[in-house]
Amino acid sequence: MIEIEKLTALLGQRFDPDAASELDAAIGLNWGTAELRVAVQDRVLSIFSSTPYAANAPSAECVIYFANFEVAYALLIGSANPIEAFMRGDLRSDGYLLWVFRVLGAFTKPRPG
């Protein structure tokens, strides 16, 4: 699936270990048609394939739900405002919203080129 490949590349490029220093969790990024599972531990990002997940993929401690892929991509590249997305209902989670902002903040490194 092209969306998963595009998002996997983006997450790898934008992951900032310094911004993720306080994260230690497995997170699901769900945009309705697919979900990508990531884990951050000791400032290291691991990305797991989509459903069915790899046998070693951890259970998600939090799932972030985006209205669609375009919303997920825009939020992760920083071109959309997460608070506005939340107020529109385009961003939600099964965990605390402040924690969602911390997760999104772990992907703040500028894209190369």
pLDDT digits (tens, 9 = 90+) for 35-76: 899 999 999 999 986 555 556 678 889 999 999 999 999 999
Q: Has residue 23 got a pLDDT over 80?
A: yes
How far apart, in whole angstroms, are the C-alpha atoms of residue 27 and residue 64? 7
In a domain, 112, yes or no: no
Domain of residue 82, CATH code = 3.30.1050.10
Contacting residues for 9 by C-beta, under 8 A, at least 6 apart: none
How much is the pTM?
A: 0.88
In a domain, 38, yes or no: yes
Place of tokens 């290291």: 44
In a domain, 63, yes or no: yes
Helices 69-77/2-14 angle, 10° precision: 10
Structure tokens at 48: 């797991």
In a domain, 111, yes or no: no
Q: How many domains does the chain have?
A: 1
In a domain, 110, yes or no: no
In a domain, 113, yes or no: no
Which residue range(s) make up the domain with 98?
A: 2-105
Looking at residue 59, what is its pLDDT?
Answer: 87
